[in-house]
Structure 1
Amino acid sequence: MKKIWFAAILAVQSIYLYAQNSPFFIDSLQQKKWVEDKYNAMTLEEKVGQLFIVAAYSNRDAAHETQIENLVKNEAIGGLIFMQDIAVKQAELTNRYNKVAKIPLFIGMDAEWGLAMRLKEVNRFPWAMTVGAVQDNSLVQQMGNNIGEQSARMGVHFNFAPTVDVNTNPKNPIIGNRSFGSDVGNVAQKGISYMLGMKERGVLASAKHFPGHGDTSQDSHKVLPMIAHDLQRLKSVELAPFQKLIDAGVASIMVSHLNVPALDNSGLPATLSKKIITDLLKNEMNFKGLVITDALNMDGVAKQYSPGTVDLMAFEAGNDILLFSQDVKTAKQKIIDKINSGEISEARLAESVKKILEAKYFVGLNNSKPIDTKNLLADLNKVSFSETTYQLYESAATLVKNEGDVLPIKNLNDIKIAYVSLEEAEYNDFDKSLDFHVPVDLVKIKSAAEISKLKNYDQVIIGFHKSNETAYKSYKISENSKAILKAVSAQNSTTLVVFGSPYALMDLDLNQTKAVLVMYQNLKTTQDIAAGLIFGAAAIKGKLPVDVNDQWRFGNGISIPSLNRLGFADPESVGLSSEILKKMDVLAQEAIDKGATPGMQIVATRKGKVIYDKTFGYESIQRKKKVEPTDLYDVASVTKVTATLPLLMQEVSDGKLSLNQTLGTIIPKANGTNKANITLKELLAHQAGLPPWIGFYKESVNVQNARLYLDYYSRKQDEEHPIKVTDNIYIIGSIRDTIMTDILYAPLASKKMEYSDLGYYLYQDYLETKYKKPLDSLVNEKLYKPMGMRFTTYNPLDRFTREQIIPTENDKIYRNQLIHGYVHDQGAAMMGGVAGHAGLFSTARDMSKLMQMYLNGGTYGGVQYIKPEVIQEFINTQFSGNKRGAGFDKMGGNTNCKCPSEQSYGHYGFTGTMVWADPKEEIVYVFLSNRINPSVNNNALANGKYRENIRQVLYDAIVK
């Protein structure tokens, strides 16, 4: 009995020691038994074979595939490192090779910024240098988790990342952007976060390149670089991140081909040095995980040592895994010969092979299954991965200079901005992202001698666009670009945006440049983000991850809060599927093909980001000019909720109005009429009993022959006929009083929901009387100008050419002409084009800004236009049995569909327009069209429910 208890105690102690010493420990006896059984069942040749990971490719010929298969079957190699480039093919090959493997293969990849580092058509995460600027390490861990999920789905167990080299040498040709930066603590913490994220997905990390490749100007792929620092410096800088990752439980460390005399003065590469690997890494630094060589075909070792010999030397030095062997068969035999001769002990072999088996168990290879290739690419490109990527790029953006607080640009009133794109990777779509906020001119400057082109601009934005093709591209800025920047900065208020490495700042003269924003990489995503940051679409939070020079140091970065303006993003970054959103294009084109409307603009946003901004078709059925984003549409009744209603909300916010007030208290002329006791709430919810419409114009025209009565109209503007209706038609000035009288003395019906335009004439009268300004001036001053809504206006011909305005009806009854540049609504036309219910012209982009202001709780661009509780009061349903809010249309009561929520609100316009906002899903949707061109009798848009169906696609596209 005592013997049994003694054996049990020994077993427990053995398991305890095993757990303490192995970063791969999972479940005690089962794991240990699996390892021992597999090890004992192998021949010596098979055990030695486990030490090798060789390179495999998914884009090579059948001979290569046969060669790899033979190595797996005949040499019993332990694993493969896949290099490139087709995901499904790689998965198929992994399954094929595993069929002939006695022990399932370790599959590794270099996936420092995700599998896109090696595979086509896969989501790419940011480079390490970009990530180094991020201050929220939970985002870095999320990136590691995402890369781990990608890897696990691909059947990859071993990611040869993160790079924890401390990049203290800007001239480093091989690390650079692959490093988290020049600060030891930041590099270590980012590496730990990355590693822990992958571990959550059961994927092994491998910290590299031990003992530290950050301070060299040579590439170990070509030569053997020397790290000449003394031991104290090495311990405090180069070795420090590795020690921190060892303490945090990193599974593997990759040793690099470096000559480090302070650690081994023999001249041996670190990869082959027992002093560096066994004495330092394993014994002194107490690393118990897998030690893996850097690729053994690199010239840093391959030039000096023959294939096979270099493998043997690496194993004798203490490496557990021999990566990228050039001659497995020869190398195996050399190791076996040394074991048979007693020069290498069986225990030494067992140490490495059992660690490899423990790690294989840890990643689930004790229960290996084939990779399912169904939906593989979709799974490698999950929406959540794009969300993480976007957040990282946005969080990394670093503002290193902001003289005079020029960023973000707050005042958009009539500001004139130019954009100049420089460097070899010019990408001129950046100006289109800037253009969303205010018009920005793209100005071509080839030399400093041409800067006079910019002299009349209030602000100049210069972009240095460096190649994003690989992480190894040079960060250097051309002398010509430097000269242009210096000259422009001396002449104009200039903002520089660096779409490249922060090292680009090294020798720039930035003394007169007002603001400098570093974006780290040159991508559409980073350009969209940069445009948003310049105008305050998000907070600026990043800090420099490196010491650039004496002026620009690690940790520099000015934090700026968000102004809550709209920015741009890929749909996936806000939880939408791009693939599903393509149905919006199909429906839009179908509407045009079926004659529902000649053309349209559509903008959709989610979570404060524009994810869909497109135009379709032509300005009219004549199909002469395609619709542009800056073309102006007559928004018709959308005017109510984008002009009059926000002004009323401001009145309530300021305590000057209440929805429970009666009309008589704000419009004295209403007293003594049947309108006096109507509450504002009743009027706004269309429950006041007002007639839906009064055909004011019908009293002034013979509708049978479309002839205007001369009592009302003149072909020339004069004192009696001051109000312009349209080209060559002017109406008597007293018509406004006539319209008001007709409304105030119109009969009332029962108080049930009956949509009516008439209340908004009354609100216009209230606002204009109180402020002694016309409605168009009032709303422009209070909303449109400060919000940067430059394309929103009444009477657009006062500011824009006719070619930029979309025509509506060919009116054959009242005005007897094509309505082009003038309001379609007859009542608004009689008011001179400015009315509370209609008359506004705008673009979908501008309308999205105003609807986003509502969604933001009344703020936009850092300005509180309306109190959030007031917006909620107007959104709320006002009366039982009436689905409308105070001014807004609302959805019905269906809460069980994937569709606009009950909280959502918006408005439709007669001309074929629609604006909508959904607080629950954080969606804004704007649809502008001219379905009444050429005739108001065209109801195909409504009958086909195109506005609603396109909106529904947004909800269908929600992934999370």
Structure 2
Amino acid sequence: MKKFFAVFTFLFLIQSINAQQDSPFYVDSLQMKWVNDKYNAMTLEEKVGQLFIVAAYSNKDAAHELEIENLVKTEAIGGLIFMQDDALKQVDLTNRYNKVAKIPLLIGMDAEWGLAMRLKDVTRYPWAMGIGAIQDNNLVKEMGVAIGEQSNRMGVNFNFAPVVDVNTNPKNPIIGNRSYGSDVSNVAQKGIAYMNGMKEKKVLASAKHFPGHGDTSTDSHYTMPVVGHDLQRLNSVELAPFKQLIDAGVASIMVAHLSVPTLEPDPKIPSSLSKKIITDLLKNQMNFKGLIITDALNMDGVAKAYPAGEVDALAFEAGNDILLFSQAVKTGKEKIIAKINSGEITEERLAESVKKILMAKYYVGLNIYKPLDNKNLIQDLNHVKYKELIAKLYENAATVLKNEENLIPIKNLDKIKVAYVPLEEAEYQNFYDRLQFHVPVDLVNIKSASEVSKLKDYDYVIIGLHKSNETAYKSYKISDASKSIIKSVSAQNSTILSLFGSPYALMDLDVSQTKSVLVFYQNLNTTQDIAAGVIFGAMSANGKLPVDVNDQWKFGNSVSISGIQRLGFAEPEAVGMNADVIYKIDQIAQSAIDQGATPGLQIVAIRKGKVIYDKAFGYESTERKKKVSTKDIYDVASVTKVTATLPLLMKEVSDGAMHLDQNLSSILPRANSTNKANLKLREILAHQAGLPPWIGFYKESVNVKNARLYLDYYSRKQDEEHPIKVTDNIYIIGSIKDTIMDDILYAPLGAKKYEYSDLGYYLFQDYLETKYEKNLDSLAQESFYKPLGMYSTAYNPLDKFSKDQIIPTAKDRTYRNQLLHGYVQDEGAAMMGGIAGHAGLFSTAQDLSKMMQMYLNGGTYGGVKILNPEAINEFTKDQYSGNRRGAGFDKLADKNNHGFGHTGFTGTMVWVDPDKQLVYVFLSNRVNPSVDNNSLANKKYRENIRQALYDAIVN
């Protein structure tokens, strides 16, 4: 008999060791020693206490905090689920509660879309429905890693996620957006990827809501939903993802409060209290070795039928290891202990659960507990890399379901008329602003289908369906009025429908005549940025529909859209920059206004093809009557060189029509008999040809002491002799251009060393206009501004824009004797009729950023190849030793910085850094009212903003 018991004991120990090693928490024998030592040292009351996880709040009063502390101390509970809402307070409370815990607490949270599900001021990841559209599961794993890191930072060991319910019922009121969709395999793959990411950071995942909450039309928070499918269906759909996660090593499974007659015939017993479902099915048949946890025991799906405390005992008896959100810990413990003492529950059963819990605690590192540090907590939780990942997730979720006639991305931006119609009345302004960056867009508000005639003259109508992003549980349904408007507009116009909400909104929507249908899953600034980007080709769309919506729209539906290298929008963190850059630029810009360096200014900053900053500051003049906007048009002064003349010369090089080592006379025959004939084009462009820095052409035509114009040159009326308009009521003789050219060509040359000169650009202008028999404005418009969508860029802007759109510059007291408003500030350019190679262009920071991005893209923008990258490289590289200039472009003295750009006399700057993928545009009218105001340059406001951008780059 003794021999029998010895063999039995040995076999039991072997079986126990094997079971422990099969556990997803098993580490090594040292772990098991720790577990057994802790278990053996506990009283029965302490062992039972480990089964309980209760709800803790960081926004409740001192009485609540004391209550939780007492539960930890006197009832020896095993863990806490923090519900809301302050991260710093939660860390403090975690330290406080663990200080009185005999064994450190498992800290859990519902963090399905990250800790922001429960905490304010923390980065929020996409809802699961959007994640379900992503085709790259490595991104989902990255999300799991990121949430794991944030959980580590908060001392959270247990994330009650992922949701692996297969949402086959569009009317599901509680799962919906929390599900990865209606396809079993996709749901399982996303759940495994998320789980594996957290696992790398030793954060426990809990798949929920077993045995499957996806096909219910009621909410278990309020009642007990019924899942009435037969066993074949349950195995193939509801249970299948759980089985796949079990096979992949999921740490925990949460059991829902459901009635599933096929699995538990007694309608009074919810799945969370069913031994048939938990022990027989989940543990024995599905061979799950991890922690089994109840859904919250305060939910009406179970709490209505069972008294608090009693439900805890029933749940444990059914096979659950952890009792979540207990409402009566003391009573629950007493009832469980009573059942153990009576033999209804064996101590082996208790040991099984408690040792699993202890193994889990060791696995996540609670065997060596360290108090949490809250220093820089909020900054750490909102690290740049997390926001960069979030943007990437939303971008990869973007789904195009329909795109007739390849309507998007919209390629040709020339002379198109676009309207935007917002529907459903949630926030839309950001989307509208982003659309306007690419083309002028009219906002047209329509309340009923009877008003769609307002849109009849538009080439494109973009409709935004903006659903509330307040919670994942908001209704996806759209109004009958919106449905009618969409149908009517689509019948009349080429219509692009962007849905910012659940794809279920398409269920009974007639889009048969809608040309393009896009889904972005949530209504956020980020998704609105992406939507504008997809429509205009800033980015691709590769997401696929994650659910069956109706007979038309099925899981996996999509039309792949490729980007065409236009500019998009993003938060700084999304492109590897610290968000503090926004604050720093704001500060510098506002200081420039406050210190009187300029009345107003515009700034655009771009990284990795995404606009991260686009703002205007100040007023149009020192009178401070009218605030400036991002749509105002500025005199860009010498930035004209790199946005008009230089790109045209680069095009000549790209087309093989010239090279930079040609002599000037080879392109400008009139230079043949002058000392300029043998100047190399490269020398002229690098300001190393010995040309005089400046010639005051206007001084020969005016008495500069009193700004009286000589009648030999000027007339108050335009006539045959005076065809060139200088400003209002001032016209100059037509021969002045030849006079200017002669003055330049016959001017003496200096030494061939670096000395900045505008004069070469008059020569290049003459070459280009003579060759093509068009003025510089027409050449630049056709070659660059139209294909780039630079709608607000032109010479002589008053010919195309209203005066209200144009920012005034200097009060000219020596030549034109007037405030210059819509006329070029540079006197030489004015004598050329406002069109010159070195100055005269007017533009916005937004428009100039498109050309700068084209340079950064290697000559391509909007799907159109405009310049060869070799030509751009030739013009932007260092040209001569000891000279920081490129061929026309300015550069830094630091040879390790390969950036290039230019500044302008009116207070402007453009900058491109190919290494850092950075574009920066600064426009101002610092010369208003006087050109003598030099504090913008003296205090280096433009340069300081550029440096702030460099300093903000993290990766």
Q: Distance in 2 between matches of 1:670 and 1:752?
A: 21
The C-alpha deviation readout for 1:738-761, integer Å capped at 9, x for no partner, is 111221222111111111111111
Q: Distance in 1 between matches of 2:681 and 2:541?
A: 42
Partner residue, 2:131? 131
Q: Distance in 2 between matches of 1:293 and 1:583?
A: 49
Q: Distance in 2 between matches of 1:504 and 1:518?
A: 10
Contact preservation (8 Å) 2:131, 2:180: yes
Partner residue, 2:936? 941
The C-alpha deviation readout for 1:528-564, integer Å capped at 9, x for no partner, is 1111111111111111000101111111111111111
1:10, distance to aligned residue in structure 2 (A): 11
1:818-833 to 2 correspondence within 5 Å? 818-833=819-834
1:156, distance to aligned residue in structure 2 (A): 0.5
Contact preservation (8 Å) 1:147, 1:198: yes
Q: Distance in 2 between matches of 1:11 and 1:644?
A: 88
Q: Secondary structure at the match of 2:438?
A: coil
Partner residue, 1:951? 946
1:698, distance to aligned residue in structure 2 (A): 1.1
Q: In structure 2, what residue type is equivalent to 1:250?
A: V
Q: Does 1:96 align with 2:96?
A: yes
Contact preservation (8 Å) 2:529, 2:570: yes
1:413-428 to 2 correspondence within 5 Å? 413-428=414-429
Q: Distance in 2 between matches of 1:252 and 1:12?
A: 25
Q: Secondary structure at the match of 1:889?
A: coil
Q: Distance in 1 between matches of 2:900 and 2:427?
A: 42
Q: Secondary structure at the match of 1:108?
A: strand
Q: Secondary structure at the match of 2:429?
A: coil
1:883, distance to aligned residue in structure 2 (A): 1.0
Partner residue, 1:547? 548
1:594, distance to aligned residue in structure 2 (A): 1.5
The C-alpha deviation readout for 1:115-149, integer Å capped at 9, x for no partner, is 11111111111000011111111111111111111
Partner residue, 1:605? 606
Q: Distance in 2 between matches of 1:82 and 1:561?
A: 43
Q: Secondary structure at the match of 2:238?
A: coil
Q: In structure 2, what residue type is equivalent to 1:917?
A: V
Q: Secondary structure at the match of 1:295?
A: coil
Q: Distance in 2 between matches of 1:744 and 1:12?
A: 102
Q: Distance in 2 between matches of 1:296 and 1:129?
A: 26
Q: 2:902 aligns with which of 901, 907, 920?
A: 907
Q: Does 1:659 align with 2:660?
A: yes
Partner residue, 1:247? 247
Q: Distance in 1 between matches of 2:19 and 2:37?
A: 16
Q: Out of 764-773 and 793-802, give the one that drifted further.
A: 764-773
Q: Does 1:849 align with 2:850?
A: yes
Q: Distance in 2 between matches of 1:534 and 1:759?
A: 41
The C-alpha deviation readout for 1:703-752, integer Å capped at 9, x for no partner, is 12211111111110001110001111111111111111221222111111
1:11, distance to aligned residue in structure 2 (A): 13
1:956, distance to aligned residue in structure 2 (A): 2.1
Partner residue, 2:193? 193
Q: Distance in 2 between matches of 1:468 and 1:141?
A: 24
Q: Does 1:364 align with 2:359?
A: no
Contact preservation (8 Å) 1:581, 1:957: no
Q: Distance in 2 between matches of 1:202 and 1:10?
A: 32
Q: In structure 2, what residue type is equivalent to 1:243?
A: K
Q: Secondary structure at the match of 1:658?
A: coil
Partner residue, 1:641? 642
Contact preservation (8 Å) 1:635, 1:840: yes
Q: Distance in 1 between matches of 2:870 and 2:581?
A: 35
Partner residue, 2:3? none
Partner residue, 2:595? 594
Partner residue, 1:331? 332
Q: Distance in 1 between matches of 2:116 and 2:92?
A: 18
Partner residue, 1:46? 46
Contact preservation (8 Å) 2:430, 2:529: no
Q: In structure 2, what residue type is equivalent to 1:428?
A: Q
Q: Distance in 2 between matches of 1:76 and 1:329?
A: 10
Q: Distance in 2 between matches of 1:322 and 1:30?
A: 28
Q: Distance in 2 between matches of 1:624 and 1:99?
A: 61
Q: Out of 12-21 and 748-757, give the one that drifted further.
A: 12-21
Partner residue, 2:176? 176
Contact preservation (8 Å) 1:581, 1:954: no
Q: In structure 2, what residue type is equivalent to 1:283?
A: N
Q: Distance in 1 between matches of 2:14 and 2:686?
A: 77
Give me the TM-score of the superposition, normalised by structure 1.
0.97
Partner residue, 1:698? 699
1:15, distance to aligned residue in structure 2 (A): 9.8
1:452, distance to aligned residue in structure 2 (A): 1.7
Q: Distance in 2 between matches of 1:182 and 1:406?
A: 29
Percent of aligned pairs with the same amino acid: 74
The answer for unaligned runs of 5 or more in structure 2 is: 1-6
Q: In structure 1, what residue type is equivalent to 2:635?
A: D
Partner residue, 2:4? none
The answer for unaligned runs of 5 or more in structure 1 is: 1-5, 896-901
1:19, distance to aligned residue in structure 2 (A): 6.0
Contact preservation (8 Å) 2:384, 2:579: no
Contact preservation (8 Å) 1:15, 1:29: no
Q: Secondary structure at the match of 2:847?
A: helix
Q: In structure 2, what residue type is equivalent to 1:610?
A: V
Q: Secondary structure at the match of 1:841?
A: strand
Partner residue, 1:534? 535
Q: Distance in 1 between matches of 2:157 and 2:902?
A: 53
Q: In structure 1, what residue type is equivalent to 2:309?
A: G
Q: Does 1:815 align with 2:810?
A: no
Q: In structure 2, what residue type is equivalent to 1:926?
A: V
Q: Distance in 1 between matches of 2:949 and 2:13?
A: 58
Q: Distance in 1 between matches of 2:56 and 2:220?
A: 21
Distance 1:656 1:19, change over 3 A: farther
Q: Distance in 2 between matches of 1:143 and 1:474?
A: 26
Q: 1:924 aligns with which of 890, 894, 919?
A: 919
Residues paired across the two proteins, number: 946
1:424, distance to aligned residue in structure 2 (A): 3.8
1:891, distance to aligned residue in structure 2 (A): 1.0
Partner residue, 1:290? 291
Partner residue, 1:899? none
Contact preservation (8 Å) 1:403, 1:515: yes
1:18, distance to aligned residue in structure 2 (A): 5.3
Q: Secondary structure at the match of 2:770?
A: helix
Partner residue, 1:205? 205
Partner residue, 2:29? 29
Contact preservation (8 Å) 2:254, 2:294: yes
Q: Does 1:161 align with 2:132?
A: no
Q: Distance in 2 between matches of 1:823 and 1:357?
A: 78
The C-alpha deviation readout for 1:204-241, integer Å capped at 9, x for no partner, is 10000011110111111111111111111111111111
Q: Distance in 1 between matches of 2:950 and 2:429?
A: 32
1:101, distance to aligned residue in structure 2 (A): 0.6
Partner residue, 1:872? 873
Q: Secondary structure at the match of 2:461?
A: strand
1:269-418 to 2 correspondence within 5 Å? 269-418=270-419
Q: In structure 2, what residue type is equivalent to 1:542?
A: G
Q: Secondary structure at the match of 2:627?
A: coil
Q: In structure 1, what residue type is equivalent to 2:560?
A: S
Q: Secondary structure at the match of 2:762?
A: helix
Contact preservation (8 Å) 2:161, 2:208: yes
Contact preservation (8 Å) 1:106, 1:158: yes
The C-alpha deviation readout for 1:602-626, integer Å capped at 9, x for no partner, is 1111111111111111111121211
1:958, distance to aligned residue in structure 2 (A): 2.0
1:894, distance to aligned residue in structure 2 (A): 6.5
Q: Distance in 2 between matches of 1:262 and 1:256?
A: 15
Contact preservation (8 Å) 1:421, 1:428: no
The C-alpha deviation readout for 1:333-366, integer Å capped at 9, x for no partner, is 1111111111211111111000000000011100
Partner residue, 2:794? 793
1:577, distance to aligned residue in structure 2 (A): 2.1
The C-alpha deviation readout for 1:478-504, integer Å capped at 9, x for no partner, is 000001111111111111110100000
Q: Secondary structure at the match of 2:92?
A: helix
1:592-741 to 2 correspondence within 5 Å? 592-741=593-742
Q: Secondary structure at the match of 1:23?
A: coil
The C-alpha deviation readout for 1:153-204, integer Å capped at 9, x for no partner, is 1110000000000001000000000000001111111111111111111111
